[in-house]
Chain A
Amino acid sequence: QKEVEQNSGPLSVPEGAIASLNCTYSDRGSQSFFWYRQYSGKSPELIMSIYSNGDKEDGRFTAQLNKASQYVSLLIRDSQPSDSATYLCAVNRGSSASKIIFGSGTRLSIRP
């Protein structure tokens, strides 16, 4: 079992709809959770961080964390073609606050 699991996609969503990206993790001691966006040929760009259970909203993005279910999700409202990218879920190891483990990413495609 991978430490951080994501569906590789591609996930195809029509423009204007809500895109829902999911991630599960195995380390119950994890405390820090991040979503990064990566365009092809570019480096990861931080979108959201979340540290406690519940929802955190920032503009069109909402991160959701459920530690009991070891589940993190990212919702993108009013999806735009520019949102087409790979989305990486990242989780710290409970035993090492510094060490971040990345999932393999979900490719998101927004169709006009």
Chain B
Amino acid sequence: GAGVSQSPRYKVAKRGQDVALRCDPISGHVSLFWYQQALGQGPEFLTYFQNEAQLDKSGLPSDRFFAERPEGSVSTLKIQRTQQEDSAVYLCASSFRQGYEQYFGPGTRLTVT
């Protein structure tokens, strides 16, 4: 079956621009997660949804980061007024339910110039 998909795969933004990153989870997966991965590091947790409810957003680095999953399926991670330190790979993962295995999408590589 289809895995987790993300778009765009690559995004170059000028500093100060807003960006929106999309994640389409595996069908039927209740839980959806966003991570940020810097080069040479493991993924860092950003936020978690169970269906449409955002249950944990403790990892969002600033109020410029915003995530939503309005219908409990597709999710969007929005970054406002991008800064150079936002350059990273943004990974989305989904799981059947919380505590179970998470499956990752291919990621979006964001470069802020």
Contacts and interface: CB of A to CB of B under 8 A. Distances in A.
Interface of A: 4, 31-32, 34, 36, 42-46, 49, 88, 90, 92, 96-105
Contacts of A100: 33, 45, 102
B8 to A, nearest CB: 15
Contact of A32 (B31, B45, B99): B99
Contact of B42 (A42, A46, A104): A104
Nearest to B104: A43
Contacts, number: 56
Contacts of A101: 45
A102 B102 contact: no
Contacts of A46: 101-104
Contacts of B44: 102
A96 B104 contact: no
